Chain A
């Protein structure tokens, strides 16, 4: 099955609450990474810009592909 080229599967995209709190110092103060209002908003570490997991761009890099052993593709 072909991977959908969206931010949610991109190696540069982080939207786990703990990862966001690490990436944004002070963000944990009011626990804002864990509210449902954040939904699927995350941070692209390449562009240092916020996107939703459904966004996409030409710099997409599949995180599974990056981590796959040599000779294997997801």
Chain B
């Protein structure tokens, strides 16, 4: 990872110590009354520390958000039946794709037609708001020739809205008394980043007393329905940039390369599928009694516990690495276009998750 091991160990020790405190708070008898769910506590504690103190370099070394969330997703795969992925994949892909396309188009055309933003900025904003946040924006940045300032605005808007959603979506789902599977699916189409979405899904799941359902629905929608297609989005925008925006730019044509689909494929998804397939195949060789008395408590439960720890490391790291002072100011046009997309995204996601596919997600 290019990090000094000693620095990482020092930082990780503190991260672990803080996680123990967070789990202790979450285990308090009255924690539920105050909605002190560990993911939220981890995030808020991290934000408080990062924005009131200076984070030393040795602690920054351990704030590996990306690695913790990907490891958590792979561990999740181990407790995710492959049959569920096979049966739910089409619904998740269909729903997520429909919402992503509508949201992308909303942000792009409002940014360019209503607020007269540069089309490159509009493109990164639209993919950031509809596919997978800053990662999505970076995936297409080169394809559209985005400038540094275009990514600045996307980073600020995605971070702010992702943090808002971590708090707002679980509370909205709780107030609307949504079943955890439906809430997880709604969060899967509404959140921007995997890590932020897991924080929200985990919170809503704990509030509803069924974290597994919320996280599984979220994973199907976000990882299977959105993340794995980012390479395709990059290819499509490269084609648009060269065939519609600038037909004569030979240099830009170099960016239209089908290899982008694989280059930008989120490789951790392979780990997720392999973990799911391995455990699913193994459990089919065991009888139901062995599954209940041995496999569940001695294999799946420890994997689930490890996953919980990994996600807490992730949420703490998000908080500790988010300094509001570092975020660049955003123009009114970019803010308005992105927010319009957020509104469309949230409403469409609600309608499809609750009314169109509600019966399906409620059974997850």
Which chain A residues have a beta carbon within 8 Å of chain B's beta carbons? 16-18, 23-43, 48-52, 54-57
Q: Name 17 extra pairs, CB < 8 A, besides A31-B65, A32-B134.
A: A25-B328, A26-B155, A27-B134, A29-B155, A29-B159, A29-B323, A30-B135, A31-B66, A31-B195, A32-B66, A34-B67, A36-B264, A37-B227, A39-B264, A41-B141, A49-B145, A49-B148
**Are B135's CB and A32's CB within 8 A?**
yes
Q: B268 contacts which chain A residues (CB < 8 A)?
A: 36
**Are A48's CB and B135's CB within 8 A?**
no
**Are B138's CB and A26's CB within 8 A?**
no
**Are A49's CB and B146's CB within 8 A?**
yes
Residue of B whose beta carbon sits closest to that of A34: B66
- In the complex, B173 has a CB within 8 A of chain A: no
- In the complex, B30 has a CB within 8 A of chain A: no
Q: B159 contacts which chain A residues (CB < 8 A)?
A: 26, 29-30
A49 with B147, Cβ < 8 A, contacts A32-B135, A37-B139, A39-B263 known: yes
Q: Which of A30, A31, A50 has the most CB of B within 10 A?
A: A30
Please, could you name 15 A-B residue pairs with CB atoms under 8 Å apart, sorted by A?
A17-B2, A24-B155, A26-B152, A26-B326, A27-B155, A29-B321, A30-B133, A31-B67, A31-B69, A32-B135, A36-B264, A36-B265, A37-B139, A50-B141, A56-B251
Which chain B residues have a beta carbon within 8 Å of chain A's beta carbons? 2, 63-67, 69, 132-136, 138-139, 141-142, 145-149, 151-152, 155-156, 158-159, 162, 193, 195-196, 227, 230-231, 251, 254-255, 260, 263-268, 317-318, 321-323, 326-328
Q: Which of B65, B152, B267 has the most CB of A within 10 A?
A: B65
Least Cβ distance of B255 to chain A in Å? 7
Q: A31 contacts which chain B residues (CB < 8 A)?
A: 63-67, 69, 195, 317, 321
